[in-house]
């Protein structure tokens, strides 16, 4: 199985402009995500997809490969799909699986990225998405964190920025799971997904994976017990910096 990883990144994030190049312990946020993805076993090559030359310049400066994409994309999956097709055209090789790693997940473990790949041994699985536990009610209610509920097989039932399942009867036994920005697609599914129009629930929740569920598809959710933080604010970046002080994966690339 030929698997590649693509990190979609752009400078114009409305909540945190310039986020990809925001320094954390001397390395841009995007750099942490890139180095950790490169360390993942089973990934043939890692790329960064961007519409910003300043990001591409940084990626090249650390020995990475940047793929320039349209500035019109609103969804990371759209940018990832365009980059994948450009990569295939440039290399003359078709990929089997694309792992989309959001460029704001600087604590993601390489083994967590690799974990997505083994689930494709099941021919019925077309999308694999990592999830982690939310450990506080405050995090559970934070609309920056996309919550997910799953069925008995571990497949997603629904994604929301609201706290789901509802804690109205008490929170002690509520499974509080958060979507992590690591999503692996079979190649043809990614193309098909991006050819579909946006769906109503996707727009309401601002979660594009609801497009899959609303049209009858399945998403295999895979738990990681490791700490993950999707950086949405400068305060999130500061928290990541504190955690990285004792992070063994960071030690592997800190001096690059």
> At CA 85, angle to CA 79 and CA 89, rounded to 5?
145
Q: Residue 122: is the preceding peptide bond cis (ω within 30°)?
A: no
Whether 114 shows a pLDDT value over 80: the answer reads: yes
- What sign has the CA pseudo-torsion 57, 59, 63, 64? negative
What Rg do the C-alpha atoms of the chain give, in angstroms?
Answer: 17
Q: How many CB atoms lie within 10 A of CB 251?
A: 10
Residues 6+ away with beta carbon under 8 Å from 204: none
pLDDT of 205 = 95
pLDDT of 15 = 74
The pLDDT tens digits of the residues spanning 159-212 come to 999 999 999 999 989 999 999 999 999 999 999 998 999 999 999 999 999 999
pLDDT of 153 = 93
**Domains in the chain: ranges and CATH:** 3-229 (3.90.550.10)
pLDDT of 120 = 97
Whether 230 shows a pLDDT value over 90: the answer reads: no
Q: What is the 3-state secondary structure (H, E, C) of 147-188?
A: EEEECCCCEEEEEECCCCCCCCCCCCCCCCEEEEEEEEEEHH
Task: pLDDT band for 75, please (50, 70, 90 cuts).
Answer: confident
């Amino acid at each position: 199985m030929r698997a590649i990883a693509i990190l979609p990144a752009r400078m114009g994030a409305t909540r945190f402009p310039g986020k990809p190049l925001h320094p954390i312990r001397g390395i841009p946020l995007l750099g942490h995500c890139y180095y950790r993805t490169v360390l993942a076993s089973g990934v043939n090559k890692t790329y960064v997809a961007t519409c910003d030359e300043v990001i591409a310049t940084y990626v090249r400066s650390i020995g990475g490969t940047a793929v320039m994409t349209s500035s019109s994309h609103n969804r990371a999956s759209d940018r990832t799909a365009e980059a994948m097709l450009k990569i295939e055209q440039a290399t003359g090789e078709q990929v089997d699986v694309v792992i989309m790693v959001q460029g704001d997940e600087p604590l993601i473990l390489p083994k967590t990225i690799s974990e997505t790949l083994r689930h494709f041994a099941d021919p019925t699985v077309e999308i694999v998405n990592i999830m982690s536990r939310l450990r506080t009610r405050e995090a559970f209610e934070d609309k920056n964190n996309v919550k997910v509920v799953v069925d008995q097989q571990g497949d997603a039932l629904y994604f929301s920025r609201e706290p789901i399942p509802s804690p109205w009867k008490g929170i002690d036994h509520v499974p509080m799971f958060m979507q992590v920005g690591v999503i692996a697609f079979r190649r043809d599914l990614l193309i098909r997904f991006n050819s579909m129009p946006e769906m109503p629930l996707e727009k309401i929740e601002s979660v594009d994976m609801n497009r899959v569920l609303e049209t009858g598809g399945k998403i295999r959710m895979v738990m990681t017990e490791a700490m993950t933080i999707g950086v949405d604010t400068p305060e999130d970046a500061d928290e990541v910096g504190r955690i990285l002080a004792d992070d063994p994966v960071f030690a592997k690339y800190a001096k690059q």
